[in-house]
């Protein structure tokens, strides 16, 4: 009996890396899984059913229940079929973990429109559409008198919170996911749905080149602080009934550290009570900035 015992959990991008770690962790806590993955390369090209099917086989070999889903969750049809796979296979959906994504890193002056569209599509639209279709199912259940105890865990990034040089498309999409999370938490609570976001740091295909030195695998016998499995316990807890009352929050998880992130809120303020002149603005803004905290550094900024 685990904290996710009997829950039906959908994880997108679950064929490798963080998604795979999340799926296996949920299964170990008694959940039944829908493992979604297109099996694309790190830049989103290609595709294979192999990764999702391998994770399903791994869960079943350990005595768990799981089915594979190979639909494109950044399309309405694919997202709808994802929810249908859970309902058809297990009778319902309790937890949605939005995790799918890939990278196409370029400095902004070299970033092609297609690379912008592709990354924003898989990360931001690929969060919105599964969330929308799951929410429609939970709303229908609530209207039928069967209010859900549902959970959504979205995957943002430190790049979305602070920015990251060479990742303008990715950072913009991940920042958008935070905004989506806040709106969804406010709108969906009436149906019994809690929505939170996670900014993970771990060694995966998406990070191994960007953070090659800081995320390198340890020597034999050492604790692997950057293993994706270190992030999954927080995801499992957020996706379980044990997290009751926690919604609209953003967490950062890295190695053994969990942080509650605090977003934009009013800082130092000046109010003239009338319109400022441009000359006055420079003086007052300089004073306000002197009173304000220093922003976190953008990743990769020298």
Q: Which of 156, 164, 170, 232 is catalytic?
A: 170
Is 272 marked active-site? no
Confidence band for 302, pLDDT divided at 50, 70 and 90: confident
pLDDT bucket at 224, cuts 50 / 70 / 90: confident
| Residue found by looking up tokens 């050492």 in the block | 222
pLDDT of residue 205: 60
The string of pLDDT tens digits covering residues 93-105 is: 999 999 999 999 9
Active site residue 49: no
Nearest residue to 159 (alpha-carbon basis) of 220, 90, 105: 105
What percentage of the chain reaches a pLDDT higher than 70? 91
Give 160's contacts (C-beta < 8 A, 6+ positions apart): 170, 171, 172, 173, 174, 175, 176, 177, 178, 199
Question: Which residue do the tokens 């959908």 mark?
Answer: 10
Report the CATH fold assignment for 8-261. Answer: Rossmann fold (3.40.50)
Regarding pTM above 0.85, the answer is: yes
Catalytic residue, candidates 81, 125, 156, 174: 174
Which one of 156, 157, 232, 243 is the catalytic residue?
Answer: 157
Q: What is the rounded (10 degree) CA torsion for 202, 203, 206, 208?
A: 140
Assign 118 a pLDDT band (cuts: 50, 70, 90): very high
Three-class SS of residue 92?
coil
299 catalytic residue (yes or no): no
Give me the mean pLDDT over the 246-251 stretch: 98
Tokens of 29: 């806590």
Shortest CA distance to 93 belongs to which of 28, 20, 53, 36?
A: 36
């Amino acid at each position: 009996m685990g904290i996710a015992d009997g829950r039906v959990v959908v994880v997108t991008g679950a064929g490798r890396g963080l998604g795979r770690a999340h799926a296996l962790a949920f299964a170990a806590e008694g959940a039944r899984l829908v493992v979604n993955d297109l099996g694309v390369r790190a830049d989103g090209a290609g595709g294979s059913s192999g990764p999702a099917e391998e994770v399903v086989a791994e869960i079943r070999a350990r005595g768990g229940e799981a089915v594979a889903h190979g639909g494109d969750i950044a399309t309405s049809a694919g997202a709808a079929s994802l929810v249908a796979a859970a309902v058809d296979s297990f009778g319902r959906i309790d937890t949605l973990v939005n995790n799918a994504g890939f990278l196409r890193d370029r400095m902004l002056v070299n970033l092609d429109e297609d690379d912008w569209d592709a990354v924003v599509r898989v990360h931001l639209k690929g969060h919105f559409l599964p969330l929308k279709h799951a929410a429609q199912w939970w709303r229908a259940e609530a209207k039928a008198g069967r209010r859900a105890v549902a959970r959504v865990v979205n995957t943002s990034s430190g790049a979305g919170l602070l920015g990251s040089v060479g990742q303008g498309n990715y950072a913009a999409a991940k920042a958008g996911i935070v905004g989506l999370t806040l709106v969804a938490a406010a709108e969906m609570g009436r149906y019994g749905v809690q929505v939170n976001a996670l900014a993970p740091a771990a060694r995966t295909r998406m990070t191994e080149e960007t953070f090659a030195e800081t995320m390198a695998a340890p020597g034999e016998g050492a604790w692997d602080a950057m293993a994706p499995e270190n992030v999954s316990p927080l995801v499992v807890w957020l996706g379980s009934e044990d997290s009751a009352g926690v919604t609209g929050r953003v967490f950062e998880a890295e190695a053994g550290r969990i942080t509650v992130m605090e977003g934009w809120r009013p800082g130092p303020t000046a109010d003239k009570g009338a319109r400022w002149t441009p000359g006055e603005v420079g003086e007052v803004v300089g004073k306000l900035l002197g009173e304000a905290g220093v922003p976190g550094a953008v990743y990769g900024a020298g």
